[in-house]
Each structure stands twice: as C-alpha cells, then as structure tokens.
Chains A and B, each alone.
Chain A
Amino acid sequence: MRTWELIRLALLALRRTPLRAVLTTLGVTIACGSLVSMVAFALGMQRQVERPFTKLGLFNQIEVFPRKAEGTNRPAVLDDAALNKFAALDGVAGAYPQLQVTGVKVRRGDHEETAVALAVPRELALVGVIQEMLAAGRFFTADRPAEAEAIVSGQLVEDLGFGSPAEAVDQEVQLEASGLTPDGAERFQFERRLLTVRVIGVYTMPGMTPMFARRSVLLPVDLIKSIPGVRFQAAVDQLKAGGTAEDAGYGQVIVKTVHPRDVPRVKAEIETMGYRARALIDQLEEMRRFFVFLDLLLAAVGTVALVVASLGIINTLLIAVLERTQEIGLCKALGASGGDLRVLFLTEAAWVGAWGGVGGLALGWTVAKVLDLAARVYTRHLGVPLEGSLFAFPAWLLLGTVLFAILVSMLAGVVPADRAARVDPMRALRGL
C-alpha cells in the first residue's frame, strides 16, 4: 500500500467518528501543552539566569591571578608583558587588567553620587555584546587614546539628574577618587585626584546583575591607571610575598576568548605559564546541571500527562477495531495483509499524535504568552522589569514535542493495531 493511500485512509477513518477523534486529540493536546510549556519555562528560566553572563561575555572570560612560583615565595607578576603573552595565545580575543576603584564620587552640578570605577580596554569592541548594552552614545575607540572619556550606567545617569540616557551623552561629569599610591619600595602616599571626563555612552544592564555593576563608571584602562589607589591591593600583596611595592603588577587580569569553547584550552595554557586561572563557565556548569535536572523533571511530569492521554488513544482505537471488525475482514478479503492493517491503525494513532502535538504547541505557546505577560506586569509593578521572555521555545523543543507525541501515540496504537492485524476475516465477514 502506498504511503499517501495509507495516510488518506487513516484520515478518512478518523473523520468517521469526528467527536471521538477530537476528544482523543484534545487529551494529547492538553498533555503536550503542559509538557511544552513546562519545559519552555525551565529553558526560559535558564536563559534569564544566563542572560547577564552572556551579555557581558562572561562565558568566554578567564580570570587570571598571580600564583607563587615554584621554589619561591614571590608570585609570578601579572604585568603588561604577561598581558601581551596572553593576548598572543591562539583563540584569545584580548586581555586587560581587572582594575576597579570603589568609592569614586561622581558629580554633576549639585548632584553627587558614589560609584565604582571599572576598567575596560578601549579595544573592548572585542566583547561585541557590550554594544548591545549601550542605551545611548558609543563605546571607547582605540584610535582616540588618552581621551578623558567615560561610559556611565543608566542608573547613575538617572541619579545624576539626566532626563534620559541620550541627554547625558557628550556632557561632562567630575570624578573624585582618593587612595594610597606606592611611593618607593615600601611606602605609600595618600592622594586625592579630581578628573573631568566626558560621558560618551550610557549602558544598561540586565535586571539580575549585581547592583554595583548597574551603578558604575567604565573608564579606559589607560585612564583608570592614573586614579589613586587603583594598584594599592596588588602592591600590598607583593609586599606580603616578599617583593616590593614597585614590582606590583595587576591583581587580576581578564582574558577574553573568541568563543566559549576556547576557554578550557586557553585556561590550561595560562596555568602552565605559572598563573592561577578561573573560568566562570566552570562554575556555571553546576547551575546548568541543575537546569538539566529541572528540564527532565518537568518533562517527566508532562510525559505522565501524555501517557494518560495515550490511554485515551488506546481506548479510541480499541473501540474502532471492534466497530470496524467487518470492515477489517473486508479489507483482508480485498487483499490487505495483517501488516497493512497494523500500519493503518498505527497511522491513525500517529495522526492523533501529530494533531495533538501541534495543538499542544499552540496551547503551550498561548499559556506561556499569558503567563509571561502576567509576570511582566507583576515585575514591572515591583520595579524590576523583566528582560526577555520567561519561556523559551527553541526549535528542537517544538519539533521534539510533536515527534514525541507521535511516538507515544503510535506506542499506544500498538495493541489495537495488533488486534486489527489478527482479526479472522472469515469470522469478521460473518459478523461473529
């Protein structure tokens, strides 16, 4: 029997008892709807949690620290020479020192706010995602070194009294930083410095990032190096290890890889150079494992619903076999084999699964949209607006749900199909 004939015959058979077919399909639809919406929720939550890390390019980031060299008490120095070596590694997009100064005062007219100054290299076009974070203005460019420029967080812009991010662009703000700066081998000097910078951009951060990152001033590496106190901690660490404050390099360096898959290899190479390296992606593996378990748990709950729905399919098809016994006998008299009839009934089950699966996707998507809207309204009310959807519907989930529904339905059709295949044509035609 040709495939299209089979599909057509199965459809015709289902159309014969439309109400029963619709009700059976509805059971599969509801089961698939719950399955797909629950898994989509788990996937959406995972994306919500990972979004800030992805946006900040943290998945392809390696944090490098000095480590005591073999046979000495002095840590390997993380200086510009080390930075150049890291940058030259295969798969590395760039490396820059992780410098930050807390308690920086930011002034604009009568407004004064305290923020964290963070170093970013002017070449941070290498972290392409940063561009997406810009609410207004532009990022630093490598062709304008030594410019006193800053990129300010949207929260800070608001607190400084700007009406909008765009309004802050090209405006000047004053930074005041104070701290201890190495002065000789073992001496420090307290310094206070005022710096006028031009705001060239305003960035926004995903809602779930730490507060300090949402209330920061980004300064180019070359500029932040001149701020008092920026190298204090590294100098103290060097002194503790038996070195001199003047030898102090950077306390921490960030190495960005081109792709997250490069992280393990680059990390290993940096460690062989004598440094301690840490990748955020390693720590996130635990979190991802949790989400895998959550996905599986919710999928299992949805599968239970689908199994319950499959009982409806078994019932429907068994009744169909009973009702159509004479017809089955006739088909056998016309030359249908037991295999033909088995495949015919399995195809009917597959139709129920396919329609139920597609209907389930529509139902799950609708439920997700409603819940997403409700969550959005609620979180906006709480003042923590959601970014992105709480539900994620990747293509594999859509296709997988329909295929899974078809598979489960066909499994449910095995017993009825087998009964149909084993119908004695002679007894069937006699109506026995």
Chain B
Amino acid sequence: MLPPRENANACPLVRVAPVNPADTHSAFVETHHLGREYVVGPSTVRALDGVSLRLDRGEFVAVVGVSGSGKSTLLHLLGALDSPSSGRVVVDGEDLATLDPMGQALFRRRKVGFVFQSFHLVPSLTALENVTLALTFQGTFGRTRQRDLGMAALERVGVAQRAGHRPSELSGGEQQRVALARALVHRPPLLLADEPTGNLDHTTAGGVMERLREAQQQLGATVVLVTHDEELARRFAGRLVRLRDGQVTAEERGGAA
C-alpha cells in the first residue's frame, strides 16, 4: 500500500494526484516512489525523490518544471536508459528493475520512441537512413520493408520530400520532424520526448508539436513530454505533472484533456 503523500512544496491551486494502489485500473506506466541519486564529487545529488505516477495508455502527459527539477532524469528512467536508486518503474506490466542490460535494450527497441532536444541525427546519414536506423536494431525487416516504413514515417510528419537529404541540409524544424519520424517508425506504445522544441522558434515548435500530437492520436501511443514551456504543454497535453527538486508538486489538466 502506498499512502497518499503530503507535499510541502505543492502549489495550493493545483490538485496533487499521487498513485493510489487501491485503484485496480491498469495503468500503462507506473512509477512507485522513484528516486535517483548521483554522486558528484564529495556530495550526493538527489535528482528524483519519491516520484509516484500513473499514466494511462494513449495519454499525453507533459512534465514541466525548471531546469534541474528532475524532468529529464524521470524520462530516462521511464525509457530504461538509466536505473533508479530506489523505487521502481512498471511499463505495460513489465518491471524495468527486473531487466538485465539486454532486456532493457529489447524494451527500448520494442516499446519506446525517443525524441531529443538536440535531435541526435547522424550527420552522415540521409533523413530516411536516420529514420530506418531505428529499424536496423529490430532485425525483423528487410531493406525494402525498412525503406517503406521509413518513408511512411517521414510522410506522417510531413518531410517525405526531404528523405534523401542529410541533416546539415535540413532546417531545425525539419530535423526535429525527422527525429520524430525515427521515434515513431516502429510504432512504439510509449513516446518519450525530452524538450523536443527547446531548439526551435515558437512557430516551428508549434508545428512539431502538432505532428507529435497527430502521431500520438493515430498510433494511440502514450506520450511523456518533458518541457519547460508551460504554454506549449498546456496546449497539447492532457495532463501536466509539475516537478520541483525531484518531487511531484502538482498535477493539472492540460488544454487537450
């Protein structure tokens, strides 16, 4: 039993919705008292401190907070890129703590799509090759099928005409769309976006977010968006989770709820 948690830092105007284990409704993503500490020199930094969350399948959740609040750390733990110091993460009934490195790789390969602030496109590959790179590690599709799926993903985000271009030949918005296509190409049930609009101007950012929402609705994926842009978060997310000093301080409904 996980007791409801009082939080001294909670904003008085928002409703805090901690995980209630008594709730029998099956969540797609659950975190239980998630904590992550880093040893930096002589001191220990607590990046996350007892975060308990539930995310339903197909839900669009934005995690907001200032820099250093633990947003990205939470995202990395949800994507099994990092392991918690305490607590646990359960995705689609799978406890990530039980996975060995190979199991974590398989989990990311099958269930997770990542979008990063700095795109992380491989400069020597074309847009299409960058997208199909995600399928390469699947090992299940032939080259033609990979190409078809890659083109479909690029079409979905509106940059199919740039398939043969290298990242240096694309604008920031186009690069992020290619990165989005790469995250979606294997149709993952969980999409983790870490400040995807952080390097884009407001208009371009809106366009990318539109594509993200469309894809989420088409694929029925659960989206966790980490951003410090609350306006953007409210506009596109169904729920906002506010983090401060590694703790969930509030939750509120977003504009897309």
Interface residues of A (CB under 8 A from B): 1-2, 4-5, 9, 12, 15-16, 326-327, 329-340, 425-426, 429-430
Contacts and interface: CB of A to CB of B under 8 A. Distances in A.
Interface string B176-211: 000000100000000000000000000000000000
A274 to B, nearest CB: 73
Contacts of B108: 332-335
Nearest to A335: B109
Contacts of A425: 81
B12 interface: no
A332 B109 CA distance: 9
Contact of B133 (A334, A339, A426, A429): A334
A1 B105 contact: no
B139 interface: yes
A335 B124 contact: no
A420 to B, nearest CB: 14
B81 A426 contact: yes
User: Secondary structure at chain A's binding surface: helix, strand, loop or mixed?
Assistant: helix
Interface in B122-171: 122, 124-125, 133-134, 136-139, 143
A80 B29 CA distance: 100
Nearest to A333: B114
Contact of B82 (A330, A335, A426): A426
A207 to B, nearest CB: 58
A429 B134 contact: no
A429 B79 CA distance: 13
B42 interface: no
B102 A339 contact: yes
A330 B101 CA distance: 15
B106 A429 contact: no
Contacts, number: 68
Nearest to B136: A5
Contacts of A334: 108-109, 114, 133-134, 137, 182
A339 B104 CA distance: 13
B120 interface: yes
Given A1-B137, A331-B133, 16 more contacts: A2-B139, A5-B139, A9-B136, A12-B125, A16-B124, A326-B120, A332-B81, A332-B105, A333-B81, A334-B133, A335-B105, A336-B105, A337-B102, A338-B105, A340-B105, A426-B82
Nearest to B108: A335
Nearest to B120: A330
21 contacts: A1-B136, A1-B139, A4-B143, A12-B125, A16-B124, A327-B120, A327-B122, A332-B105, A333-B112, A334-B108, A334-B109, A335-B105, A335-B110, A335-B137, A335-B138, A337-B101, A337-B105, A337-B106, A338-B102, A425-B81, A429-B116
A1 B82 CA distance: 23
Minimum-distance CB pairs A-B, first 9: A335-B109, A337-B105, A335-B137, A16-B124, A330-B120, A334-B134, A335-B108, A336-B137, A333-B114
Contacts of A336: 105, 109, 137
Contacts of A12: 124-125
B76 interface: yes
A194 to B, nearest CB: 87
B215 to A, nearest CB: 17
Given A5-B139, A426-B81, A338 B124 contact: no
Contacts of B72: 430
Nearest to B134: A334
B64 to A, nearest CB: 20
Contacts of B137: 1, 331, 334-337, 340
Nearest to A17: B124
